[in-house]
Structure 1
Amino acid sequence: MTTLYVFCSAAPPVFDVLRVVRNAQARGWDVCLGLTPTAARWLAPQLPALEKATGRPVRSEYKMPGDPDVWPPADVILVAPVTFNTLNQWALGVTSTFVVGVVAEGIGKDVPIVAMPCANAAYVRHPQFGRSLETLREAGVNVLFGPGGFEPNRPGEGRPEAFPWSLALDAVDSVVSSAP
């Protein structure tokens, strides 16, 4: 079975991640779930169900040096929803969190990565956002933003139920099926 790491930041669509995990598993993926620290706090009541669904610990922190890894290596990584903060940290190489550290290293290991930002229109007007998208795309990350991906809402008008999770999973399938 092919291993998919699903990494989520703290944006409202994260509350639907159990359904996403199950959908990915229905597509044949062995799913490992990683969360930013804030996303882990938001999902604290769901963590037992998420661990049961994946059969593995949900990770939000680095392991101790020398400890064995509890996950198999990733064949592909999906980073969604990826917030303004996490996206910019990743593009800048600021690896202070487990999720950002793994995806930053994933670029260097040539692990296929799909990312779908979730940021409102005010955040995306910040000049660093566009630079970060460009940096990640130049590094080979398949960033689903704009037409055919996530399209930002005005501040305060989010529609987490409309987050295009299926597009993200389709992109993961496509990236892996087109890999050499």
Structure 2
Amino acid sequence: MSRVLGLVGSGAGGVEDLLPRVTQPLQADGWTVAVTLTPTAGRWLDENGGRAEIKEAIGTLDLPVVVFPRVNAAHARHPSWETHIDALRRAGVRLVYGDDVWPLHEPRSAPGRYLPWSAVLSVVNAAVPPPG
């Protein structure tokens, strides 16, 4: 049985890398990958009920959820940011987050930065080991 990944890509940048750096490597390892691309994930989720689906995924027993919050230092300074991160961790969400994988920079101060796709893939593969 194939491992399945539901992947949501937003307009936050990096979508152009999803095929070569995420989807194709996972497919080469036997994954089935279902990709949803949105210009702005927040608006799309509001309009299409996706937030409820994500909340359901987080609350579903034995369903691993991996999140890479592509944020900058300004986002992380928001007063509720750490509360949100802590809530995701308590819910068992595997976060690809921290200075070791995505050091935070001020807005627009790190152009051309590569996203930590290898770290994302490592967490996804660890969350759903190969069948056997």
Deviations 1:69-119 (A, max 9, x none): xxxxxxxxxxxxxxxxx5xxxxxxxx6245433221111212101111111
Is contact 1:36-1:98 (8 Å) kept?
A: no
Is contact 1:5-1:32 (8 Å) kept?
A: yes
Is contact 2:3-2:128 (8 Å) kept?
A: no
Report the residue type matching 2:94 in the other structure: N
Question: 1:101 maps to which residue?
Answer: 52
* Equivalent position SS for 2:68: strand
Report the residue type matching 1:121 in the other structure: A
**Alignment counterpart, residue 156 of structure 1, candidates 98, 105, 108:** 108
Structure 1 residue ranges, 4+ long, deviating more than 6 angstroms after superposition: none
Aligned ranges for residues 1-180 of structure 1 at < 5 Å?
1-19=2-20, 20-38=22-40, 86=42, 96=46, 97-110=48-61, 111-159=63-111, 161-177=113-129
1:28 Cα offset (Å): 1.6
Give the Cα–Cα distance (whole angstroms) in 2 for the partners of residues 15 and 98 of structure 1. Answer: 25
Is contact 2:76-2:82 (8 Å) kept?
A: yes
Task: Indicate the percent of aligned positions where both proteins have the same amino acid.
Answer: 34
Q: Which has the higher contact order (CA 8 A, sep 6+)?
A: 2
TM-score (norm 1): 0.62
Give the Cα–Cα distance (whole angstroms) in 2 for the partners of residues 98 and 13 of structure 1. Answer: 24
Give the Cα–Cα distance (whole angstroms) in 2 for the partners of residues 146 and 4 of structure 1. Answer: 23
CA RMSD in angstroms, aligned pairs only: 2.3
Q: Which runs of 5+ in 2 are unaligned?
A: none
Report the residue type matching 1:22 in the other structure: Q
Deviations 1:112-157 (A, max 9, x none): 0111111111111111111111111111101111133322222112
Q: Which runs of 5+ in 1 are unaligned?
A: 40-85, 87-94
TM-score (norm 2): 0.81
Is contact 1:120-1:158 (8 Å) kept?
A: no
Report the residue type matching 2:32 in the other structure: D
